[in-house]
Structure 1
Amino acid sequence: MSEVVKLAVTGHCAVITIDAPPVNALSAAVRRGILENVMAANADSAVQAIVIACAGRTFIAGADITEFGKPPQPPALNEVIEAIEGCAKPVIAAIHGTALGGGLELALGCHFRVAVADAKHGLPEVKLGLVPGAGGTQRLPRAVGPEFGVKMIVSGEPISASEALEHGLIDEIVEGPADGAIAFAKKVVAEQRPLRLLRNDDSKLVAARADRSLFTAAAAAATKKNRGVNAPLACAEAVSWTLDTPFDDALKKERETFLRLVNDDQSKAQRHAFFAEREAVKVRGLPKGVKPRPVERVAIVGAGTMGGGIAMSFANAGIPVTLIETGEAQLTRGLAMMQKSWEATAARGGIAPDEPAKRMALIDGKIGLDNVRDADLVIEAVFETMAIKKEVFTAIDAHAKLGAVLATNTSYLDINEIAAVTERPQDVLGMHFFSPANVMKLCEVVRAERTAPDALLTATTMANRIRKTPVVVGVCHGFVGNRMLAVRGLQGEALLKSGALPDQVDAVLTRFGLPMGLFAMGDLAGLDIGWRSRQDRGLRWDIADAICESGRLGQKTSKGYYRYEPGSRAPIPDPEVEKLIDETCKRLGLTRRAIGDQEILERMIYPMINEGARILEENIAARPGDIDVIWLYGYGWPVHRGGPMFYADLVGLKTIVERLEFYARSLNEPALKPTALLARLAREGSSFASLNAARTAG
């Protein structure tokens, strides 16, 4: 019998326990063990009911995705579920932790389901570019109704035990999973309840079958934000089969769809993102045995938009925060904005009504930098100029306690230079959050030349505690994300000089899958930010600077690259901008021409990839996957395209090198010449995926 699945009989109840840490994934060994033990329990005349439970911290949390792309090993999950459905005795799933993906599909194959109060239930396959592949698209809608079922499956988001009970996914909330399931099993046997097979229960499909528009509306609502993404639409279509396709035929179609999507580039991209995130959080180069420093209180210096968002992130995780400003007015304004944000979230049902008060109670507003003295981690979030950063860090150094980690939220500046003004450079590093910091998932953790290993580990550990994805990077102007973004911005400027218009460039980028175009994003952030940064560095972008000099600073002035109606954020193409671009180009002696969408896409994306290769050459990023994670979680890169370095492999590195060389020649832009690393990989017929694997193994 199986080593990872055990069978024990308690009274007249057989308890099958899966013990395959860390998350009891449905590996071939687990599937085989469940099947063998279900058949043994069903054949045992002394057994009246069967409970399927899990050891450890969770129920089955999904399939073993390391098996994807490999030859299938028997038994298939569908075979295991069919054996459970065929049992003559009631089979009860005892859910705790998370029942996700194949774990929930197995539970749906049981006759009954019970769960502890804090359990979560979901089918997140869509987040890997897939549909559920073992009957989930057919059984879940029969349990909860097709309208709620399509919402669950297309979103991939789990629901709570109380929601599961309300919608009929589970039969009872119990105190302990195994004991509660045994008690429930005794009731089922005593009451001689009929065994409920979801495959045969169409009761919750009747209304939608009579009025198809009920489902159509629910499916449209579920998929409306998934432009160009295959899996959500495939999920919605699969759920629709519950209304018009016999169950077994629908199972075959579901499996065919799953296998088709497994080989789809979008699913490969999403699976790459899944694994890249898990690799990115592993810090390379740390001495064996190093531990993070304890952190009980955090101080945030600066109560503006960024500082307030960072403070909210820590309070959301239950960590006390001292929020520091230089004046009462700035502090009051910052605290009020945080209160307003939490209250709005509560009004939408995102948090409980009493949560805003609880979270505000964790934030202690103070005036003066001497108030950093009690903090174990200090994060500076003040104005982005080196002089101010140095002044603030000199004061922090004077007041912070020994051993405190001192972090700057700078987006671009040299952290080695900032660390040099302190007497403790070993404690200084970067924690670059992304706006809005209480929402965005990424934190670039910047390792300076003298950053101590335990300080670095403290920063990544704290980022994880506040549910951010930390990616360790090195020091350079803009680090990884903003360095590549600057290259894209420069190419946007060049495209306007060549003949494109802002709305044409932005349309290409949004069709590619980015949430916002380059120029609309600039208007939203404020064009004066980049203008001021260029002035500090002695740079000039002719068109961008001319737009700012004309008083067009973005949404804040109701005009930038676009114009904006009062109270609206919708960008409207403005003939005045086209006139300004034409006048600037004439002054520079440039002739503009018609630009095609493919050229725009290549000139926007390929130079970024090239810069990513340069970043890898310089070891600013450890792996290509780290760059992908930064762009996925910090800049809205479409997950179904996997990140810029993954996308490069899809296009083909040889193609990218050829196009970069073409643009370098035709535009007389030597900066577009392929980097040595990119050229070598293309010449060898290799890929960033191969480089990623080598650096991960190393």
Structure 2
Amino acid sequence: MIRTEQTGPILTITLDNPPVNALGAALRSGLAKAIARAADDISVGAIIVTGSGKLFSAGADISEFGKPLADPQLPDVLAAIEACPKPVIAAINGTALGGGLEVALACHYRVALASAKLGLPEVKLGILPGAGGTQRLPRLVGVEAALKMIVSGDPVSVAKALASGLVDKVVENAADLLTAAAGFADSPARPTGERAVSGDAAAADAFAAANPRLFKGFTAPTACVEAVKAAATLPLTEGMAVERRLFLELVAGDQSKALRHAFFAERAAAKVDDLPKDTVKRDIARVGIIGAGTMGGGIAMNFLSAGLPVTMVETNAEALERGAALIRSNYEATAAKGRLTTDQVEAAMALLTPTLEFGAVGECDLVIEAVYENMDVKKQVFGRLDAVAKPGAILASNTSYLDVDAIAACTSRPEDVLGMHFFSPANVMKLVEVVRGAKTAPDVLATVMALGQKVGKVPVVAGVCYGFIGNRMLIPRQDNALALVMEGASPEQVDKVHTDFGMPMGPFQMTDLAGVDIGWHRDETRIDNLKDALCAQGRWGQKTKAGFYDYDANRKRSTSPVVAALIEEFREREGITPRAISDEEIVARTLYTMVNEGALILEEGIAQRSSDIDVVWLYGYGWPRWTGGPMFWGEREGFAKIVAGLEHYTDRMPESFSIAPLLRSPQPEPVA
């Protein structure tokens, strides 16, 4: 766990706990002992702390999460480093996150490799840096810069770290790192905790006021501000006590438990239970995309950004040119924000081959169909793909709802077919539902799951059913939302219940954004419901500046008197006398029904585990992360309470509605 090597008066301590040099009990103990020996050894004049491999340390050992920690605790180890009478220099050889960065903060000097990243991501687990991070970082970079790192949880580049004072020297080449660190060996010990803080409590409050988005719904960011205020107003020892108190409160809180669940759920989703670990994956050297529309272009960008060549096929030149131009426009917009260089934009675009020749995908190892959501159209595409795709090529459909097995049956190789349901905008949204068909080969599934991670996505396996996991659960929510409006609620009331809960938008806001006309039969002689009536009037949502709401030129929504009149008209036609609808009923009929549908999905084996359902909704639909996802939230809410709520309103549900047996006798998974 710890390696030491002395060269002259300099002792180098290497954190050696592959793969990420996690700060588990054995490493903490070894580090503490090495520091103590070095402090007492008269032959040691200075100490360098570095990491093995390509990381300095990624922080805590996740296997210790939720368990009592063995001594020595990290704050005690870091106190010993800071109190060492000999200069201690952190040689940051790669990424330093969480407790890893806190180790570096406790050192007297910091030298970093230019390619390293430094961050304190604890807030993303509903906690705060608990080993002095909230106390030492402000002493190096000031209150505002410290809060920006701690409250966002996002890492910073070494260039920014140097400019802020977080690191003292930057080295371009790894071979020069230890030599550069040794350059501080004759400098005096310089405890970070004895430094003055630039900024005060007012600066902390100003940061919170200026960044409400970082605080909405979460408890940890507010605690981070309180801890940094303590750094600005108290000596280190007293500030550490404040940090510790807040840390323990957060760890015991519901939000941290939910966020830790989400953390482990994402990692579990990558595992396919019945897939042998030694499954040999297929090589993917080139990807084909059928369709250059918004989805096709967005999907293509994921592979281009990962360095994979893409052949993009369209049926007419104008659509193809428009699709390629949109990809370039998206890249250039990212470059304008400083997130890409011009060279990176050009490198990505150089990997794109737009073509009108369908047969060009014959050289691709993976072909993703991204055409209109219509079964006949998709079957036609897959029939053509079967004729031109090379043997062993994986054929994937970006379908949102349709039967992947029926699509696969149009080919002579159903074992090579699966679904890859990307979410819009596909170049931004991280979720991909990987739909496993009845005949999908194990190596096909393994390849696509691994590829999804390679291109920065969160892949989740789903079985074949209408809507798979996410959209299937959306159906009862949307159906009940419409029914509630007919019975007396307003779209605004239903949406507000959802946004108050923490969703980014409510059912009607979402429909307007996606398009009210999705799935519309476009036959104005058949107006069966409110959505049909809106579509017949051209109220297709934000794209036409009118849907369930009216929209101005900036897409700002307002209540629509036209919609209010239509609702009244439908109520009269159906003989419905509007009644007062409580928020509690909206929760039961739109959120509880989602948990119920999730339980049915589990019973049917459409999802491997309940946490996979949570991942789908966290990454695909903006379900509030601090609740852990719909299934985790449902368990916390109490399945008995959910069943009681559903039973209370059963007579107002569709005749086909039934309560999942799993909710009546649940087998909950262990909670992290």
- Structure 1 residue 216: Cα displacement: 3.3
2:540 aligned partner, one-letter code:
L
Match of 1:90 in 2: 87
User: Do structure 1's residue 7 and structure 2's residue 4 form an aligned pair?
Assistant: yes
2:457 aligned partner, one-letter code:
K
Match of 1:655 in 2: 641
Match of 1:353 in 2: 342
Match of 2:410 in 1: 421
- The counterpart of 1:110, out of the listed 107, 110, 116, is 107
- Structure 1 residue 164: Cα displacement: 1.1
User: Do structure 1's residue 291 and structure 2's residue 280 form an aligned pair?
Assistant: yes
Match of 1:28 in 2: 25
User: Do structure 1's residue 198 and structure 2's residue 192 form an aligned pair?
Assistant: yes
In structure 2, distance between residues paired with 1:532 and 1:669: 22
CA contact (8 A) 2:204 2:228 kept: no
In structure 2, distance between residues paired with 1:282 and 1:391: 33
Match of 1:583 in 2: 569
Match of 2:540 in 1: 553
1:680 aligned partner, one-letter code:
S
- Structure 1 residue 676: Cα displacement: 1.2
User: Do structure 1's residue 563 and structure 2's residue 559 form an aligned pair?
Assistant: no
Match of 1:502 in 2: 491
CA contact (8 A) 2:83 2:191 kept: no
1:679 aligned partner, one-letter code:
R
- The counterpart of 1:618, out of the listed 595, 604, 609, is 604
CA contact (8 A) 1:13 1:182 kept: no
User: Do structure 1's residue 340 and structure 2's residue 329 form an aligned pair?
Assistant: yes
CA contact (8 A) 1:657 1:678 kept: yes
In structure 2, distance between residues paired with 1:353 and 1:220: 35
* Shift in alpha-carbon separation, 1:609–1:525, aligned structure 2, 3 A: same
SS, match of residue 432 in structure 2: strand
1:122 aligned partner, one-letter code:
G
Superimposed CA distance per residue, residues 66-100 of structure 1 (whole angstroms, 9 cap, x where no aligned partner) = 32332231111111011101111111112122111
1:645 aligned partner, one-letter code:
M
For structure 1, list consecutive stretches of 5 or more residues without a partner in the other structure. Answer: 694-698
In structure 1, distance between residues paired with 2:441 and 2:153: 40
- The counterpart of 1:384, out of the listed 365, 368, 373, is 373
CA contact (8 A) 2:91 2:181 kept: no
- Structure 1 residue 41: Cα displacement: 1.2
CA contact (8 A) 2:97 2:120 kept: yes
Match of 2:589 in 1: 603
Match of 2:424 in 1: 435
User: Do structure 1's residue 258 and structure 2's residue 247 form an aligned pair?
Assistant: yes
Superimposed CA distance per residue, residues 360-407 of structure 1 (whole angstroms, 9 cap, x where no aligned partner) = 111110003111111000000000001100111111111111110000
User: Do structure 1's residue 183 and structure 2's residue 172 form an aligned pair?
Assistant: no
- The counterpart of 1:676, out of the listed 620, 642, 661, is 661
1:218 aligned partner, one-letter code:
F
1:628 aligned partner, one-letter code:
D
Superimposed CA distance per residue, residues 179-218 of structure 1 (whole angstroms, 9 cap, x where no aligned partner) = 64542343223xx42322111111x51xx24xx6544333
In structure 1, distance between residues paired with 2:416 and 2:432: 18
Superimposed CA distance per residue, residues 155-178 of structure 1 (whole angstroms, 9 cap, x where no aligned partner) = 00001111111111111122565x
Superimposed CA distance per residue, residues 434-474 of structure 1 (whole angstroms, 9 cap, x where no aligned partner) = 00000000010011011111111111121111100111111
* Shift in alpha-carbon separation, 1:435–1:599, aligned structure 2, 3 A: same
SS, match of residue 520 in structure 2: helix
Match of 2:516 in 1: 527
User: Do structure 1's residue 544 and structure 2's residue 544 form an aligned pair?
Assistant: no
* Shift in alpha-carbon separation, 1:59–1:222, aligned structure 2, 3 A: farther
Superimposed CA distance per residue, residues 291-310 of structure 1 (whole angstroms, 9 cap, x where no aligned partner) = 11001100000000000000
Match of 1:310 in 2: 299
TM-score w.r.t. structure 1 length?
Answer: 0.93
Match of 2:58 in 1: 61
In structure 1, distance between residues paired with 2:122 and 2:280: 35
1:365 aligned partner, one-letter code:
P
* Shift in alpha-carbon separation, 1:540–1:674, aligned structure 2, 3 A: farther
* Shift in alpha-carbon separation, 1:42–1:540, aligned structure 2, 3 A: farther
Match of 2:311 in 1: 322
Match of 2:625 in 1: 639
* Shift in alpha-carbon separation, 1:227–1:540, aligned structure 2, 3 A: farther
SS, match of residue 190 in structure 2: coil
* Shift in alpha-carbon separation, 1:176–1:32, aligned structure 2, 3 A: farther
1:220 aligned partner, one-letter code:
A
- Structure 1 residue 242: Cα displacement: 2.4
Match of 1:70 in 2: 67
- Counterparts of 1:221-300 in structure 2, within 5 Å, are 221-287=210-276, 289-300=278-289
2:533 aligned partner, one-letter code:
A
1:75 aligned partner, one-letter code:
P
* Shift in alpha-carbon separation, 1:90–1:556, aligned structure 2, 3 A: same
- Structure 1 residue 17: Cα displacement: 1.4
Match of 1:37 in 2: 34
For structure 2, list consecutive stretches of 5 or more residues without a partner in the other structure. Answer: none
CA contact (8 A) 2:215 2:221 kept: yes
CA contact (8 A) 2:92 2:113 kept: yes
Superimposed CA distance per residue, residues 620-664 of structure 1 (whole angstroms, 9 cap, x where no aligned partner) = 000000000000001111110110000001101111111111111
- Structure 1 residue 671: Cα displacement: 4.1
- Structure 1 residue 602: Cα displacement: 2.2
In structure 1, distance between residues paired with 2:375 and 2:182: 70
CA contact (8 A) 1:6 1:37 kept: no
- Structure 1 residue 239: Cα displacement: 1.5
CA contact (8 A) 1:151 1:222 kept: no
Superimposed CA distance per residue, residues 460-496 of structure 1 (whole angstroms, 9 cap, x where no aligned partner) = 1211111001111110001000100112111111111
CA contact (8 A) 2:93 2:177 kept: no
* Overall identity of the aligned pairs, in %: 52
SS, match of residue 209 in structure 2: helix
In structure 2, distance between residues paired with 1:491 and 1:633: 23
* Shift in alpha-carbon separation, 1:520–1:185, aligned structure 2, 3 A: closer
Deviates more, 1:613-622 or 1:235-244: 235-244
In structure 2, distance between residues paired with 1:375 and 1:472: 23
In structure 2, distance between residues paired with 1:458 and 1:354: 30
- Structure 1 residue 356: Cα displacement: 2.0
In structure 2, distance between residues paired with 1:43 and 1:226: 46
In structure 1, distance between residues paired with 2:584 and 2:216: 19
Match of 1:174 in 2: 171
- Structure 1 residue 540: Cα displacement: 8.2
- The counterpart of 2:470, out of the listed 481, 497, 503, is 481
Deviates more, 1:346-355 or 1:115-124: 346-355
* Shift in alpha-carbon separation, 1:245–1:530, aligned structure 2, 3 A: farther
* Shift in alpha-carbon separation, 1:373–1:182, aligned structure 2, 3 A: closer
- Structure 1 residue 289: Cα displacement: 2.4
**What is the aligned-residue RMSD (CA, Å)?**
1.8
* Shift in alpha-carbon separation, 1:225–1:396, aligned structure 2, 3 A: same
SS, match of residue 342 in structure 2: coil
- Structure 1 residue 225: Cα displacement: 3.9
In structure 2, distance between residues paired with 1:520 and 1:305: 20
* Shift in alpha-carbon separation, 1:109–1:360, aligned structure 2, 3 A: same
CA contact (8 A) 2:120 2:149 kept: yes
SS, match of residue 57 in structure 2: coil
* Shift in alpha-carbon separation, 1:201–1:375, aligned structure 2, 3 A: same
In structure 1, distance between residues paired with 2:178 and 2:647: 69
